Amino acid sequence: MKSLLRKIFLVDLIEGLWVTFRSQHPKNIVTEQYPAERPRIAERYRGAPRLNVHPETKETLCIACNLCALACPEHLIVVTSERNEQTRRKELTTFTYDISRCMFCGLCEDACPTDALELSQDFELAAFTREGAIWDRQMLEEGPVPTRYRY
């Protein structure tokens, strides 16, 4: 009898609808208005790669040891270097990073002994061409410039 009454008066459906109405309070809205409102990115986020330079001397921290290229599962990092005849040290010449194949696993970052290579919080990586996704040393050191939208 009770279940029949529940059926006639659609109690179960109304209970469900009540959940919907409860969630419509402005306090309960959680949608992020993305381009207008920037998301909060966690500190450990693994995004666009960065090749760090020394903050004062602006010299690269990379010692061209090639460990990141060896650690990369996709083999997408190419490091070239030449030996400086005076100091007998390896110096970085080019550094190429193909973010179109990168899966942001962070193994290169873990392998880096000098914290030169870092996966930063930048996440907007779209490019107009495939070649645009292959980042050279200059791009890696300066980082991408995200577009700010105004509404």
Partner 1 sequence: MPEATFLDANELVLNMGPQHPSTHGVLRVVLKLDGEKILGAECVIGYLHRGVEKIGENRTYQMFAPYVDRMDYVAAVSNALGYCLAVEKLLGVEAPPRAQAVRVILTELNRIASHLLWLGTHALDIGAITPLFYVMREREDILNIYEKYCGARLTTHAFRIGGLQYEVYEGMERDVKAFCKKFLPRVDEYEELLTENRIWKDRLINVGILNAEDCKAYGVTGPLLRAAGVKWDIRKAHPYSGYEKYDFEIPTRENGDTYDRYIVRIQEMRQSVRIIEQAVEGIPEGPIMAKVGKVIKPPVGEAYVSIEAPKGELGYFIVSDGSTQPYRLRVRPPSFVNLQALDKMSRGSLVADIVAIIGTIDIVLGEVDR
Q: In this complex, which beta carbon is closest to partner 1, that of residue 13 or of residue 127?
A: 13
Q: Is 23 in the site for partner 1 (CB under 8 A)?
A: yes
Question: x/- site string to partner 1, residues 99 to 138, per CB under 8 A?
Answer: ----xxxxx--x--------x-------------------
CA 137 to chain centre: 18
Contacts of 110 (CB under 8 A, 6+ apart): 71
Q: In this complex, which beta carbon is closest to partner 1, that of residue 18 or of residue 138?
A: 18
Closest CA to 142 of 18, 52, 61, 30: 52
Q: Is 46 in the site for partner 1 (CB under 8 A)?
A: yes
Burial of 81 (0-12, 13-18, 19+ CB in 10 A): middle
Rounded Cα distance, 30 and 26, in Å = 9
- In the complex, the smallest distance separating the C-beta of residue 111 from partner 1, rounded to whole angstroms, is 9
Interacting residues toward partner 1 by CB under 8 A: 7, 12-13, 15-16, 18-20, 23, 30, 41-46, 71-73, 103-107, 110, 119
